[in-house]
Amino acid sequence: MKRSVFRNRALPYVLVLPQIAVTVVFFFWPAFESLRLSLFRTSPFGDKTSFVGLENFRKLLTTPEYYQSIANTFVFASGVTAIGLGVGLFVAALATQKIRGLAAYRTAVLWPYGIAPPIAGIIFLFIFHPSYGVLPYWLGFVTSYDFNWLLKGWVAMALVILATAWTHVGYNIAFFLAGLLAIPTSVLEAASVDGAGAIRRFRSIIFPLLSPITFYLLVVNLIFSFFGSFGVIHAVTQGGPGGATEIMVFKVYKDGFIGLNLGSSAAQSVLLMILVITLTALQFRFVEKRVTYS
């Protein structure tokens, strides 16, 4: 690798300063502030503050609801990531076929990503809401099944997973599509000549060549489901019924902004931060080993 050498010793530091400033102000400072807040018990208006040490953490780790929200988060994140990657790869593969109106089709599959999560949530409400949704209304004609996710927790979970995966699938498609188009056709043709069928070609050539992108998307999708999924849950289930779709990031919001319990909310965001850092580190440690960078 070529090394650039600056004559002026101060210049490189000046050049990276803006980036460091942004990181410090918008990442390190809030993270540090959360860490500090998590050790205090504060009245909502901040007039009474007392240091409580790890009490906020102790309380969280002894309530079953917190473990429930961790479990919900893992179910949710794996659901969103599996569906998002699976459907994304499938649609991207279809979009590489030679069909008429390819450009229009390729544009259309990216659209959902342009819709803000809360709006997507509202759209899903109009389709699936037990009181005024279109789908339960139609279902009523063919079956007596009561499609009521206002009371059935697992249906609610399936719904928010579906809605979140849908909002994010366009992003996955874009990356998979770019990856698929970058695979040299000559390699695939050579494989065909050697008698490899479609499945074999996918397993031995396409999938390994796509692995850097798949790995990147895996990390991004997981982080997205941990943090960015707030909008959909807020619009659709508000964590209900009975806490069945209360994922960690939503609980942070609920306890902090509705419950005005800033200490607990800060402690939860610290735990969430630790969890995501650990997960990402694990992925880089173990999954990345199997990734083939060309």
The phi, psi pair for 6, rounded to 5°, reads -90, 135
- Selected binder of another protein within 43, 107, 192, 204 (CB under 8 A): 43
- Selected binder of another protein within 196, 241, 280, 288 (CB under 8 A): 241
Nearest to 116 by CA among 167, 80, 152: 167
For residues 85 and 159, which CB has a smaller minimum distance to another protein in the complex?
159
Which x/- pattern, by CB under 8 A, does the window 63-92 give for another protein? x-x---------------------------
190 binds another protein (CB under 8 A): no
Nearest to 252 by CA among 27, 75, 74, 60: 60
Q: How far is the CB of 196 from another protein (least distance, A)?
A: 52
Q: Are 75 and 82 in contact (CB under 8 A)?
A: no
254 binds another protein (CB under 8 A): yes
Q: How far is the CB of 166 from another protein (least distance, A)?
A: 22
Geometric angle at alpha carbon 178, from 172 and 181, rounded to 5°: 135
- Selected binder of another protein within 18, 46, 101, 195 (CB under 8 A): 46
Q: Is 42 helix (H, G, I), strand (E, B) or coil?
A: strand
For residues 45 and 111, which CB has a smaller minimum distance to another protein in the complex?
45
User: How many amino acids of this chain bind another protein (CB under 8 A)?
Assistant: 33
φ/ψ bin of 86: left (φ > 0), alpha (ψ from -120 to 50), beta (otherwise):
alpha
For residues 67 and 216, which CB has a smaller minimum distance to another protein in the complex?
67
Q: Give the Cα separation of 61 and 227 in Å (integer).
A: 21
Displacement of CA 259 from its chain's centroid (Å) = 25
User: Contact residues for another protein (CB under 8 A)?
Assistant: 41-48, 50, 63, 65, 129-132, 148, 150-153, 238, 240-243, 254-255, 257-261, 264
